[in-house]
Amino acid sequence: MGAILIRGIDDTLKRAIRVRAAENGRSMEEEVRQILRHALGLPSPEEEGRRKLEEAVAAAEARWRQKS
């Protein structure tokens, strides 16, 4: 996994991220990742995992129906 360093974040922005992270029960790093994913329209790892699980269940159900 890659890393990114963002310089020049003012104290107001940093404080807002810290507060938002605390409200969501996440670290500041994870909160920033979530903000970036949301801004780019990308799913979170949890959402992606849920989607893959739903696809696997649907495929298994389809195979089961074909055998019946």
Q: Is residue 3 part of a domain?
A: no
**pLDDT score for 46:** 85
Domain range for 23 is 11-67
- Best CA proximity match to 9, nearest among 53, 1, 17: 17
Domains in the chain: how many in total? 1
DSSP 42: P
Q: In Å, how far are 30, 44, 45, 62 from 37, measured between CA atoms? A: 10, 7, 10, 32
Residue 54 lies in a domain: yes
- Is the distance from CB of 20 to CB of 31 less than 8 angstroms? yes
User: Does the residue 63 lie in any domain?
Assistant: yes
The per-residue pLDDT for range 2-45, each reduced to its tens digit, is: 999 999 999 999 999 999 999 999 999 999 999 999 999 998 88
What's the predicted TM-score (pTM) here? 0.69
With respect to residue 6, please indicate whether it lies within any of the assigned structural domains.
Answer: no
Identify whether the C-beta of residue 44 lies closer than 8 Å to the C-beta of residue 34: yes
